[in-house]
């Protein structure tokens, strides 16, 4: 893949993963104001997790294999706040 396209895809997918990751916490909340019941919570966590995994592993994986220098700093250094 040409570098310019790879850069745009990495930037966009990485941003999307960072936006989706907090949703896992949202549906996992166990307060009195729960956004959903236990069955819904499992459903949404499973499917949001799948979306993040597909984008980060299946889409970004091959691109970063070809262009390893495009890996976001958080991913390259394995920080906990990476969003993935």
pLDDT in tens, 46-84: 999 999 999 999 999 999 999 999 998 776 555 444 444
Dihedral (CA of 54, 55, 59, 63) sign? negative
Query: Looking up tokens 């104001």, which residue turns up?
Result: 33
pLDDT of 33 higher than 90:
no
- Reported pTM: 0.73
């Amino acid at each position: 893949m040409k570098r310019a396209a790879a850069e745009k895809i990495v930037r966009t997918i990485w941003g999307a993963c960072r936006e989706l990751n907090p949703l896992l916490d949202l549906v996992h909340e166990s307060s009195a104001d729960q956004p959903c019941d236990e069955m819904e919570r499992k459903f949404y966590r499973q499917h949001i997790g799948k979306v993040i995994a597909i984008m980060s592993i299946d889409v970004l994986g091959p691109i970063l294999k070809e262009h390893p220098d495009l890996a976001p700093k958080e991913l390259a250094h394995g920080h906990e706040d990476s969003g993935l």
